[in-house]
Each structure stands twice: as C-alpha cells, then as structure tokens.
Structure 1
Amino acid sequence: MKGRIAGAWNCLIAASAALGVSKSPQLYSVEISSWMRPRPRLCAKIGPMSGTGVISKRGTLSRQNIIQTAAAMVDRDGADAFSMRRLGAEIGVDPMAVYHYIPNRAALLRELVRLFLDALDVPGPTLIWQDWVRAFSQNFRSTAKRHPGLFRVFSQSGDWSAEYLAVEEALHATLAEAVFSPQQRVRAGRLVMAYTENFVLWELSGSIASNDADERAQFIGLIESRDLPQVAALSEHILNVDADDEFAFGLDVTTRGLEAMLCPLATRADSPSNHS
C-alpha cells in the first residue's frame, strides 16, 4: 500500500514539474495515516504460539498448568490476594489467555477446591468408626496446614462437588457401622467436619499458639490488676498451648460424646422387647 501511494505521489510531482508548478517540500513526504499502519495481533501480547498452546515463562500453557500455578499462588500469598491478573503475570502471559482454558474466576476456584479434596488422605474401611473419625480428622488437618490457601478456598465454597460428596460418602459409610438413626448420622458427620474445619481455621489465624513475651506480660498485668483467681491459677496452662494436644483432646471429646449417644440406642436395640 505504501509503495503504491508513493508511486502515485511521484507521478503527481513529475506532472507538476512539467507544468511548471514549483515543487513543495510537502510533496516529497508521504505520511501514512494511523489506520494504514499494521495492527498488533493479540498473540503478540500473550506470547508466541505453538501447536499446543501459548508458550509462557513456565512452558506451554495448559489447563493443568494454570490450576497448579493458581494453587501454588493461593498457598503462598493467600486466597484474598489471588486474582486472574496476578495469575497471568505469574505464568507470564496476558490474563486473557487464561480464559481460553478456564472460563472465569469462579470456575478456577472450583478447580482449587477439587485439588484440595483430591489431596485428602481418606482412611480405608478397615478401621472401627471411632478410629476412622480420628484418622480422617488428623489427615484433614495435616492437608489443610500443608495447603492453607487451598483450604481457605474450600472453607469459603458453598458449592457441591463430586469430590466432596465422595468424602461425605466415606464418612457416612463409616458412621453407618454405629447404631445411629439417619438424622443422627448426618448430624454426627456435620459435627466431625465442623470441629475439624473450625479448629484448623482457628489454628491458621494464630489463635491456638503459645504466647510470646509481650503477650505474657500483657496477660500477667491484667490478672494482677483484677480479681481473677481462677484465671490466675490456670495462667500457665492458658499461656502455654500445644496445638496437637488441643486438637486430640477435642477429637476425643467428639468421639466420646457420639459414643454416649449410641449407648441408649444400642440398649434399646438389644432389649428383649425389641425381639419379641
């Protein structure tokens, strides 16, 4: 296009000279308007393309690469700091390239929930229900502490998923061995999940930890300035916290409480009147 325009201008200049028209400097400069200039392609923004996808600084972009990178980001920086723009920067592509593989942020968060649930070590069916509940809760806590960002995404999600229902299935199959009514079994499962999840949330917030020197001084100053004999007597136990022991204590209370609920049901089930 530019060559053709320049050629036309040269013909005009030659004709003007033949007619005795003075040459104008403007006639020798050919200005190409902005709409004639080449437009940048989208792929120039998101990186060179290959037959399998965009090449990022982490290699070929793929759905799995996006999910794994997002998981590492939320564990490292926290779920609240995560955004699609930051994800694109982390991978080394324009954020719009991500949407070719993941339709939106909500869909990506659902993938992170699935990733967390897939990482759970669900006990097998060989344990008695009390030991199964303890093992499951311990494994859940360990996974959540290894992946705190994924756990927070999971805890904030209200969506049902096949992976979560698989966990529910294993939990209720275990509780079915005990003499629970259907409603009690559902409530027992919710109790186990509620205790485990909320303890981990409390733990990750720093609420279950031994107090440092400043916190101890503040605590002692408060009990010395007030009439708090019970708190003062328990001060060492309050200030020194072992999170593992605290968690095990709560699990023991939970399972023993459920056992206590079973006893009357088991007695009624085995009573002679029920076999007559």
Structure 2
Amino acid sequence: MVQPPADRVVQEPRQHTNGKLNRARMLACALEIIDREGIEKLSMRRLARALEYDPMSLYRYAANKAALLDGIAETVLSRLTVDSADPDWAAQLRAVARDYRRLALTHPNVVPLLVTRPLATPLALRPRGTLRPLEAILTLLTRAGFSSAEALHIYRALFGLLHGHVLNELQELVDNPDETDDLLRLGLHRLPIGEFPLLRGLASTLATYDGAAELERGLDILLTGLTTTLVPHP
C-alpha cells in the first residue's frame, strides 16, 4: 500500500488491519472512525482504506452509507442493557437512562444517529436492532401492570427526556476556559444586561453544570409524575 506524505498520514484503527472481513468488524471500524473524526469524515472509501479492503467489498455488508449509519446506530444501541424482568420498573428505567447517557458520552459523535436520524424514518422501517430497547421497555412495563398504551407513553416520556438531556449536555461549551469569572468563562458578558438579566444572573449555576446530577433531577421529576398519574394494574 502506498503511504501518503508524512504530514498527511492518518492513524488508522490498528486492530482492524488483519483478519477476515465481516459485518461486525466493518461496523466496529466505522464506529471508531466516527468517534475519532466525526460522521462527516466517514465514507465507504475511507472505511475501506482503514480496513485495507477494496471499497466494493464493503457493499456486501452495507448497501450504501445510509445502511452503514443504521448499522452503527444498531451497534451502539446493542450495548444498552434493559432488564425486562426487573420487578422495580422505575429503578430499571433509571438504570436504562444512566446507561444511555454513558453511551452518549462515550460516543458523542454518534448521538445524531441515535436522536435525530430516526425522526426521518417511519418506526416500522427502522433497523430492528434500534427497536429492541423499545420492545424490552414495553415488556418491562406491561409485566409491571401497565397497559400497552401506557407503556408506550412512559417510553416516549423517558426518551424525550434522555434525548433532550444528552443534546444539552454535549452542548455545554465553555467560551474561555482559562477565565476565573463565570460570566467571562461562558461568554455571557456579551449579552446586554437589559435584555438578558436572568440568564446573566445564572452564570455560576451554568458554570457548575453537572450532567449526571441534572439527569437524576430530571428522572426524579419524570418518574414521580408517572407514578402519580399512572398506576399499574395488578
């Protein structure tokens, strides 16, 4: 293989350079590229170069880039654990939420595939692997005594919270990290105080953002509301 000039060398995922090509290996390599460089840098040609295979050989496992992205979403969501036999449904949903946040923070560049991409695809046409957490949570909740419709409502409420949370947490950017004053660190001093007095006044709160604690607070509110308004039927 001809190497590019020294100043253009890209470090390829070493663990993918030997062995027989299969779908799992291809998706693992694609996920690593996205983790390192972002979705926009992934292409069939880029992936083939990392795997040291001809690009045409990849189409046996993914018909196009869209199918490849769906496979990556399935790969990540397959790591989301749902114990549908847990007798404490609220505790299990809390565990699922924490696990989902962990996956999102581990693979932040994949979050658009998990949160926004499914919105463009009808439910029944989404990759089956991405629907398994839904089926598992519906099983958990119907076993707990909720009707199927109530279980779906709870699932939607939970993942609505999770999607909003991970997007917010990943966007908590600091403008000037070396500043000691919270207003300056966040760049809020640029906002006219006459128009945004409350937002500017939250500088210290915003600067001490704790994603884990924020998620727990959101779950407290959500699960308390659900247990108050929806009662499982024995």
- The alignment's TM-score, normalised by the length of structure 1, stands at 0.64
Does 2:112 align with 1:152?
yes
Given that 2:39 and 2:110 are in contact with CA atoms closer than 8 Å, whether structure 1 keeps it comes out as yes
Alignment of 1:192-271 (within 5 A): 192-206=158-172, 212=177, 213=179, 216-217=183-184, 218-220=187-189, 222=191, 225-226=193-194, 230-231=198-199, 234-262=202-230
Please give the per-residue CA displacement for 1:76-124, whole angstroms capped at 9, x wherever unaligned. 1112221112112222333223224433222222221221121112235
Match of 1:174 in 2: 140
CA distance in 1, matches of 2:183, 2:35: 31
Between structure 1 and structure 2, the one with the greater Rg is 1
Partner amino acid for 1:60?
G
CA distance in 1, matches of 2:176, 2:229: 37
**CA 131–185 in structure 1, closer or farther in 2 if over 3 Å, else same:** same
Match of 1:78 in 2: 38
Given that 2:84 and 2:140 are in contact with CA atoms closer than 8 Å, whether structure 1 keeps it comes out as no
Segments of 5+ residues of structure 1 without an aligned counterpart are 1-43, 46-56, 271-276
CA distance in 2, matches of 1:119, 1:256: 27
Match of 2:76 in 1: 116
CA distance in 2, matches of 1:100, 1:170: 30
Match of 1:60 in 2: 19
**CA 236–190 in structure 1, closer or farther in 2 if over 3 Å, else same:** same
User: Per chain length, whose mean CA-contact separation is higher, i.e. which structure has more relative contact order (CA < 8 Å, sep 6+)?
Assistant: 2
Q: CA deviation at 1:167?
A: 1.4
**CA 239–220 in structure 1, closer or farther in 2 if over 3 Å, else same:** farther
CA distance in 2, matches of 1:82, 1:195: 29
Percent identity between matched residues is 26
Please give the per-residue CA displacement for 1:139-192, whole angstroms capped at 9, x wherever unaligned. 111122212334432331334233233211221122225564443321211111
- The alignment's TM-score, normalised by the length of structure 2, stands at 0.74
CA distance in 2, matches of 1:93, 1:79: 20
Segments of 5+ residues of structure 2 without an aligned counterpart are 3-15
Partner amino acid for 2:19?
T
Which runs of at least 4 in structure 1 moved beyond 6 Å after TM superposition?
none
Given that 1:79 and 1:150 are in contact with CA atoms closer than 8 Å, whether structure 2 keeps it comes out as yes
How many residue pairs get aligned? The number is 210
Please give the per-residue CA displacement for 1:39-69, whole angstroms capped at 9, x wherever unaligned. xxxxx99xxxxxxxxxxx8123412332221
Partner amino acid for 2:32?
A
Partner amino acid for 2:42?
F
CA distance in 2, matches of 1:232, 1:114: 41
